[in-house]
Chains A and B, each alone.
Chain A
Amino acid sequence: MSVDPLSFLDGNAAAGELRELFAVDLTAAVGQCAGCGHVAVIAEARLYVHAPGLVARCAGCDGVLFRLVKAPGRTWLDLRGLAYLQIATPDEADRPPTA
């Protein structure tokens, strides 16, 4: 499939869907691409929303980082393109007023 090179959004636009699944905001987490090793904040990933669901791709190599697909009553989340996620877990006293 050919994709307009500038049709993508970025990880920021996945914040709402991810926040339905996780207790923390994953777009501010740092992730490593399992393909090329590029390390970046999820918000800076390229997000394609024209597929059925969301596809996030590495800004370094364009490899798929994660895919999220919803159907009535179910959500599939494929994270195999991420080697790891580093999530800030500040101590209670350091936590910003809103999350």
Chain B
Amino acid sequence: MSWRVATVVALRDQTATARTIVLDVVGWPGHDAGQHVDVRLTAPDGYSAVRSYSIASAADGQRIELAVEQLPDGEVSPYLAHDLVAGDLLEIRGPVGGWFVWRPEQTEPVQLVAGGSGVVPLLAMARSHAAVGSRAPIRLLYSVRDAGSVLYGSELDTLSRRDGGLEVTYAYTRVAPAGSLRPPGRVDVSLLAEATWPPVDEPTCYVCGPTAFVEVVADLLTAAGHDPGRVRTERFGPSGGIR
């Protein structure tokens, strides 16, 4: 697999620090929901840096959508989140990753658990699920700092209004919006029991977020009785710091 040139065709702000980048990639072979691409930036002196970004979109011809959260000390993310403009070219390699994926032929219940911007590949799964009209029951538990940090909130609303569509539960860790049923807090045993498919339903669970979040949630799920082989994980590093 070699590097391809992608053209930036649209940019949309998601939150104060995150934005969506829509790319047009000539010869894109299509992708599975959950896969990612590597993005390579090369400085004039030849120094280059590579980072992985999850694809947010369901398969759609040669268009793909990434979502990038800007990290304060990031080498790559500030450029992508701030400086990039439509018409710019990026080098990408992908799609890659064949484990943390959801495929339309899967019929078992789907449990998505997101920590922060870990929602991105899970959104691709929810979008793909809706696009193919899957009847597999699907839920998302989305742990996020506060309402202003939610990525793709209006689209998640839309997906959840579809008949047989995504069931979304927000777990606010810092500030819960007025009218929330639960005080702010981290994902714990009782919330998992309340808002996720029970082990007896044999869901495939997809957990994505910062490493500490994924470690905790994956352990809670297996302790609750989920088969470890059905708990698939993707880690971003310390609070997403590696990106």
List residues of chain B with CB under 8 Å of any chain A CB.
1-2, 29-32, 36-38, 50, 52, 59, 93-100, 103, 210-212, 215, 232-238, 241-242
Contact = CB atoms under 8 A, between A and B. Distances in A.
Interface of A: 4, 6-13, 15-16, 19-20, 25, 27-28, 41-44, 49, 96-99
Contacts of B96: 15-16, 19, 25, 27
Nearest to B210: A6
21 contacts: A4-B238, A6-B212, A6-B237, A6-B238, A7-B238, A10-B233, A10-B235, A13-B235, A16-B1, A19-B1, A20-B1, A25-B97, A25-B99, A28-B97, A43-B97, A43-B100, A43-B234, A44-B232, A96-B32, A98-B32, A99-B98
Nearest to A88: B98
Contact of A12 (B29, B36, B37, B212): B36
10 nearest A-B pairs in the assembled complex, by CB-CB distance: A43-B99, A25-B98, A15-B96, A28-B98, A16-B38, A15-B97, A28-B99, A19-B1, A16-B96, A10-B235
B30 A97 contact: yes
A12 B32 contact: no
